[in-house]
Structure 1
């Protein structure tokens, strides 16, 4: 039978409480020396009792004895002839020497009181909480017996009743804590393995757990199934988007060839632009999907060289783009995907030209960060829109007309790609208009 995790935790908690309880009781019991105190009345008290009873007439002594009775001390009178013959007399024991000092010859015997049916207790048990009988001689004849009783129930070994159960509970608590350690250790291994799961990489080997609770075994199996489904879904998604992109590019190429047959030049230009936008949208979707699953390439790139090449291409295409800093001789190394970084620069510069007429580009290196700043000459950004414009399908120009802008994916795609490189993107207002800043971590060689 296999107990669930909840049942085991309850057992562990109960055992722990029992262990604490018995530890406190045992500590109080032994540090206060209760076995000896409870069964050994002070010798001064016994001497005072003997003197008091001896000073009373024999006929009145019984009333005095009744007055001396208590729950922890029993006093009774016996005749000289009623003193029994017993072994194991403790009178001469060194630990009872103080009673001789106070009582002298009046101390006749010190015996461990016999149990039921006159069963005698061995002398070596005298250090426990067994009741002791002090036999004391009275003046003018007679013997007084004072029995000190323990105020709590004890076992034959002088331990309080329940002490054995407590000790057993302590043992169970130790076993329970060991079981808890066994249950937690697989969870720690599982957590470490789950942290290594990468949907874009190979499946991670999860720890094999033997003889543990059904819940934890089921959890491991569930993580294994989830990892397998994520891996298959990611590969299927990438294959689907890649296949669509390839087919659409083939269709677009054929459409371009057919568009050359259109007699109207303006219609031909608009159709060609629409096809280019469609291809651009597919490229953005593919790159974003790759970034989302960590499938971007990683290579050492000179971002300064890449930025110069991109701006040269923009100016060759007739776009109003200005490089504000001289970075031709600079080397600024980063780790990234070349195609993704080109897409980031292209999207931001394209937005600046569309909505702000000009794009002023600068590269700034501070500490361990390289920042690409793109500023336009437009109206700038409203403060409440700086975060909203980074979301998909959100445009600063509210209409959906194609002639006034794109689909609202440029900044959203740039944000996804920048964050996949461990960087940040932010919008603000600069000297001329709106400003977009892309910060990327520099490559630091060991």
Structure 2
């Protein structure tokens, strides 16, 4: 059943993708809505006349888990052995190329799910020198990263608890529980810190900007698109129910045996374990420094306590700041920006602030290059406050990331509350 509203921007984006691409891979950690998105893509693609084929890691792995292989490479605490993971990845890369060659009709569409983390099908995003590379890096393919908002991610975690307690589908029994979802997010956040994408603490809760940024970096060698999911979608059946499939890519017994033999001949046990440990080498071996964003100088937190009382504003500065406070809540953003610029000028900010290319779900330190100072804490705070507010107005007053009718006045009230801490009379 289709649960994406046909009037939504998400539906329009998904429809355009499934109509124009030949191979679509949905990637990301568990708990971001990959399976639901795949289900909805398959439905929309079928409505558009496409014959949908599916590649899913959990299904492709099963032919490798023979009695012989499981004896040699047993699961430990439910975790698949590195040898089997590698074999699935090697097989999948060739399988995608084989599918492309044996299904030349433009109506054929392959949709795949790529977990990536822990070396699960990472081979499909790593550059290679085979025929599959042309296909995977070409215009016919697209790697999608669904990025749930904070609210949607919370709903996904709650839903996961419910489906694990009462699974509707055999595959739901294999879903990662909420504690594993959080652990995988922390691993992604750790990668973001390692490559300099964020300054967030290791314990910071899920953040869509950090999450999307890491996977965007991982997919640097592939045509990719981040897909913000900011609307809760509630399917009436299991997200694994796919009734309209033309086929599913799974290895034959002969293919599984041949690939396992290849893995055993090419890699030692230690090398396989290292591949799992360093599944993220694409970004950690040669990290791409992120755009630091516009400069923003802020006071040290411990210098702020008495800053409003200790800050002596000039008459010109007080007048400029009071002018901001006196503007009506529904003032046009362009007019407010004009008044902000006047105030910034009186505070010693000589040039207009360059805005960062950000989205509504970004985190503060990720789109500003923040530095801290203990000098002139009050004035520094006011400058930073107005710069940050100005940046928000410029970046978020145009679709599709516009501030809502609730967010805009709330931010304005917060701004005025901060300004009123200072003597503006």
| TM-score of the two chains, using structure 2 as the length reference | 0.21
Q: For the pair shown, which has the larger CA radius of gyration, 1 or 2?
A: 1
- Relative contact order (alpha carbons < 8 A, sep ≥ 6): 1 or 2 greater? 2
